[in-house]
Amino acid sequence: MARIFDWAVRDSQRLATVASLKQAKGRHGAFAQVTCNSAVEAAAAEAAGIELAVCRAANVAEVRKGSSRLFVTAALGFAEAITDDEILRTAFKALTDGADAVITARRLSIVSLLAAEDIPVMGHLGFVPRKSTWVGSVRAVGKTADEAVELYHRFRRLEEAGAFAVEAELVPAPLMAELSRRSGLVTVSLGSGPAAEVAFLFTNDICGEGAATPRHARKYGDLARLYREIDAERIRSLQAFRADVLTKSFPAANEVATVPDALLEEFARRLDH
């Protein structure tokens, strides 16, 4: 546990810092990262021993209600912050809300803009879902020599732009090992094998919240089943309520307030006169 001051100059404790992440370079699997966008998810992540979390920039304050110790990276959305000024404003708002870093898949000049303010920036390379039209499908990136070399140069350019870390998504595991070895960036693997300082999965995949689990993920729970049970119990409860209304068994005498007959008589007398 490290003592720091956050970007709002609050005395804080963190399970990881930029310094400890950089010092872990070469120690594969040194940290685990998950997604969190609520106080409940953040509290669960901390309780489980997870060190790092990613959330939407707008959700940082909510996430911090659940955990003051996670290293939180705020994702700068493409639509929420477009111009340079909007991006800086959004980043600083997220940081003062409690984020420790930001992640962006925008152009390198944006990375440099943020890094120039000493903002810890994580880039996103490999398969970037919002840019998947450029690679033609949902697939691993770097399966040809040309793609592998281009990806290496993207790693280098990202580091030169001032990023301290990179989320590498769907990069073939042997290539990821070479890229991580040849780069000074802290590497975060999402479906890119074990050769990274940080292993990353989405909380909803880990907990089994969706109908399907991506190939790169592993399902450890079955919250979808519990949600189905909750939905069924909700419907059963509502149906029972409606049935009691129809049969006049709701509300019962102990579920309403009452007054003495004398009061009603006095009420009627006053109105009748």
Mean pLDDT to the nearest integer, 19-37: 97
Mean pLDDT to the nearest integer, 15-21: 98
Mean pLDDT to the nearest integer, 237-251: 97
Per residue in 83-140, pLDDT (tens digit) is 999 999 999 999 999 999 999 999 999 999 999 999 999 999 999 989 999 999 999 9
Same domain assignment for residues 156 and 70: yes
Pairing assessment for the beta strands 11-14 and 2-5 based on DSSP bridges:
antiparallel
Whether the pLDDT of residue 192 is over 90: the answer is yes
Other CB atoms closer than 10 Å to residue 182's CB: what's the count? 11
Whether the pLDDT of residue 210 is over 90: the answer is no
Domain that holds residue 263: 226-272
Same domain assignment for residues 142 and 157: yes
204, 35 Cβ separation under 8 angstroms: yes
**Alpha helices of the chain — where are they, by DSSP H?**
18-23, 39-47, 60-66, 84-97, 108-115, 145-161, 173-182, 203-206, 223-246, 261-272
pLDDT more than 70, % of the chain: 100
Whether the pLDDT of residue 75 is over 90: the answer is yes
Mean pLDDT to the nearest integer, 181-200: 97
Whether the pLDDT of residue 81 is over 90: the answer is no
Same domain assignment for residues 67 and 45: yes
Domains: count for the chain: 2
* Res 211: pLDDT: 82
Kindly write down the DSSP assignment for every residue of 132-172, as one continuous string.
GGGTSSS--S--SHHHHHHHHHHHHHHHHHT-SEEEEES--
Whether the pLDDT of residue 243 is over 90: the answer is yes
pLDDT band at residue 208, thresholds of 50, 70 and 90?
A: very high
pLDDT band at residue 180, thresholds of 50, 70 and 90?
A: very high
* Res 87: pLDDT: 96
Same domain assignment for residues 263 and 175: no
* Res 212: pLDDT: 86
What predicted TM-score, i.e. pTM, was given to this entire model? 0.90
pLDDT band at residue 27, thresholds of 50, 70 and 90?
A: very high
* Res 5: pLDDT: 97
86 is catalytic: no
Q: Return mean pLDDT, the chain.
A: 96
45, 25 Cβ separation under 8 angstroms: no
* Res 80: pLDDT: 84
Same domain assignment for residues 258 and 188: no
Same domain assignment for residues 212 and 162: yes
Mean pLDDT to the nearest integer, 33-50: 98
Mean pLDDT to the nearest integer, 206-234: 94
Q: Amino acid letter at 267?
A: F
Q: Give how far the C-alpha of residue 35 lies from the chain's centroid of Cα atoms, to the nearest Å.
A: 3
Same domain assignment for residues 176 and 61: yes
Same domain assignment for residues 161 and 94: yes
Same domain assignment for residues 102 and 166: yes
Same domain assignment for residues 43 and 113: yes
Per the residue annotation, which of 41, 62, 169, 197 is the catalytic one? 169
**CATH code of the domain in which 204 resides:** 3.20.20.60
187 membership: H or E segment, kind and range: strand 186-190
Same domain assignment for residues 204 and 236: no
Q: Amino acid letter at 17?
A: T
